[in-house]
Amino acid sequence: MRTKGRGSGSPIRIGVLALLFVAMRADALPAHAGLYSAALAYKKGDFTLAFRDFLALARLGQPQAQLELAYLYSLGQGARQSDIHAYAWAMLASQNGEAKGQKLARRLLPALRLAPGSRRIAGWITAPYTPAALNRTLLPTYPHAGLASNGGHPAGGGAPNVFGTRSNRACLPIRMHRDVYPWWANLRGMQDRVLVQFTLMPDGTARLPEVIFGLPERSFDAAARTSVVMSKFAHRPLRRHPIRCALDFQFVERNLSSGDYPRLQDYLWGLRKKAVKGDPAAEAIYGTVLAGLPQIQSSRRTSFLPWLVRAAQAGDPLAQYEVGASLQFGFGGCLPDEVKALRWLHLAAAQHEADAEVALAVRLLDGASDAGQIDAARKWLDQAVTQGNVAGEMYLSALLAAARQAAVRDPARALRLERKAFAHVDVDPTGYEIRAAAQAAEGHFTQAVKSEREAIGKAHALEWNLSALKRRLALYRSGKPWYGDLLDYGSPTPAKAGS
């Protein structure tokens, strides 16, 4: 579902600078951290570190890393010298398009011919990392022939919408709230496209809106979250449990045309040239821009995911998260695959990518009662919050406010985080519910009653089912706190009151 935010008046024509300030960051990055750090370690003579970094990337299918690994094995740098291992990785690099790999393999072949079975052993070494193997275990699978599943150059291909998702009909709104275009973005001529995931309740209301795909600066996050909360979906009383949905949002200023962005196509062409040459930073930015700018021709939008895959294979943490999210929900025309998604999310989180940390935490918290799972989730959320991640602040504030485990609760911190997480989404009753639970946990029941009443008032305006909110209000009035998962709207049984 594509929605267009409405602006008021005519924006100042400075759009090209506003639109490209994210993409320009590619020029500020000398190279991507993965390949760059490995190469830097080699130049410094730290062959052990270089070997470790190149090996990690080679196992993801990155051709340059595979070639460098072959050289390290052939020279005995960072690992024991091995012509068999060098030959194996050189041949694999060649299969992935690295021409120097074939040259190195030919140079090594005479030595291998002296040892029976050497070439067969070399095949065993790299068997888990061949293109075919990675297609089965790691890389997205595309049902459409136009998109290469091995992370090669995008070749176009059709998809139902810009993100290549096929939306559940139940996820399509019957009444979309549109008047959310930020005035400052309108003034600057900024446009954007974001994908929002949320929980759709049987009563046709949306909860927990979270932007999971968009330009890195996330300038339209609050507007998109507000729009989802205030929209109305079909009431399905026979559906007992909530479902997870995703909506594609466009924030487009109708008064702007391609002529207002004279440098955009030139910049994109230059960025693409760098990406084609294998610059991981350019690959990551180009893929994100293809997906995130409404000015991009629709025929080019659906080709974003293979570029992000290439950047992810080179170690870019944001690209790794975006690939993981795509595999979770079937973005970019790929088939959903939870196992592959988790591998990419863990890779991204290991590099402190905040959105990936939140995604892993949410998965741990889903129906969790085990103290170990909750503790692990809190650690992921803590790391995300230190980076200013809004979704992390939302989930962590709810956890600290009302966790069943007393050792986890920290209502004072929950209140601080809640105010940050919902500062620009005042229409969402969830923030007031978290505030009320935290105040009750501190013993401030008068304040908790006031906050819960505010939550009920806002929820009533949004046509929410008020039963759970009223139960919590009754507890606060009687001087009792409420403990449970405030964000677990799919729980089959109501949480119990604590003391």
- Residue 154 — very low, low, confident or very high, per pLDDT cuts 50/70/90? very low
Which is more confidently placed, 311 or 237?
A: 311
pLDDT of residue 179: 60
Taken in order of first residue, the domains within the chain and their CATH numbers are 2-25+153-350 (3.30.2420.10), 61-136 (no CATH), 359-477 (1.25.40.10)
- Residue 259 — very low, low, confident or very high, per pLDDT cuts 50/70/90? low
Which burial class, exposed, middle or buried, applies to 29 when counting CB atoms under 10 A from its CB (0-12, 13-18, 19+)? middle
| pLDDT for 187 beyond 60 | no
pLDDT of residue 468: 92
| pLDDT for 142 beyond 50 | yes
Q: How far apart (Å, rounded) are the C-alpha atoms in residues 32 and 317?
A: 10
pLDDT of residue 238: 65
Which is more confidently placed, 237 or 45?
A: 45
The model's pLDDT over 299-309, given as tens digits with 9 standing for 90+, comes to 555 688 999 99
The model's pLDDT over 347-369, given as tens digits with 9 standing for 90+, comes to 999 999 999 999 999 989 887 67
The model's pLDDT over 418-454, given as tens digits with 9 standing for 90+, comes to 999 998 888 999 999 999 999 999 999 999 999 999 9
How many beta carbons lie within 10 A of that of residue 21, not counting itself? 14
- Residue 112 — very low, low, confident or very high, per pLDDT cuts 50/70/90? confident
pLDDT of residue 396: 97
pTM given for the model: 0.84
Which burial class, exposed, middle or buried, applies to 111 when counting CB atoms under 10 A from its CB (0-12, 13-18, 19+)? middle
pLDDT of residue 211: 84
Residue 296 backbone class (left: φ over 0; alpha: ψ -120 to 50; beta: rest): beta
If you search the block for the tokens 């009383």, which residue do you land on?
Answer: 237
Q: What angle do CA 446, 450, 455 make, to 5 degrees?
A: 145
Q: Which residues contact 467 (CB under 8 A, 6 or more apart)?
A: none
- Residue 202 — very low, low, confident or very high, per pLDDT cuts 50/70/90? confident
In this structure, of 22-26, 331-335, 472-476, the range with the lowest mean pLDDT score is 22-26
Average pLDDT, the chain: 81
Q: What is the mean pLDDT of residues 25-48?
A: 73
Q: What is the mean pLDDT of residues 116-128?
A: 88
Contact of 12 with 184, CB cutoff 8 Å: no
| pLDDT for 483 beyond 90 | yes
Which is more confidently placed, 407 or 30?
A: 407
Interior/surface letters 78-91, b for 16+ CB within 10 angstroms, e for the rest: bbeebbbbbbbbbb
pLDDT of residue 257: 52
> Which helix (H) or strand (E) segment is 329 a member of?
helix 317-329
- Of 262, 360, 264, nearest in space to 320 by CA: 360
Which is more confidently placed, 89 or 499?
A: 89
3-state secondary structure of 292: helix
| pLDDT for 117 beyond 60 | yes
If you search the block for the tokens 């500020």, which residue do you land on?
Answer: 28
- Residue 29 — very low, low, confident or very high, per pLDDT cuts 50/70/90? very low
pLDDT of residue 493: 35
Cα 26 to Cα 12, 33, 70, 392: the distances in Å are: 26, 12, 29, 26
| pLDDT for 42 beyond 60 | yes
pLDDT of residue 103: 94
| pLDDT for 102 beyond 70 | yes
Q: Which residues contact 303 (CB under 8 A, 6 or more apart)?
A: 147, 154, 155, 156, 157, 290
pLDDT of residue 303: 82
Q: Which residues contact 97 (CB under 8 A, 6 or more apart)?
A: 63, 152
Q: What is the mean pLDDT of residues 289-312?
A: 76
Q: What is the mean pLDDT of residues 236-254?
A: 71
Contact of 431 with 417, CB cutoff 8 Å: no
Structure tokens, 96: 């992935």
Amino acid 286 reads Y
Q: How far apart (Å, rounded) are the C-alpha atoms in residues 380 and 314?
A: 24
pLDDT of residue 150: 38
Dihedral angle, C-alpha 135, 137, 143, 148, nearest 10 °: -30
| pLDDT for 37 beyond 60 | yes
Radius of gyration of the chain (CA): 25
In this structure, of 46-50, 275-279, 441-445, the range with the lowest mean pLDDT score is 275-279
Q: How far apart (Å, rounded) are the C-alpha atoms in residues 426 and 89?
A: 55
pLDDT of residue 278: 86
SS3 content of the chain, % helix, strand, coil (to 5): 55, 5, 40
pLDDT of residue 132: 95
pLDDT of residue 220: 72
pLDDT of residue 30: 39
3-state secondary structure of 199: strand
Which is more confidently placed, 455 or 210?
A: 455
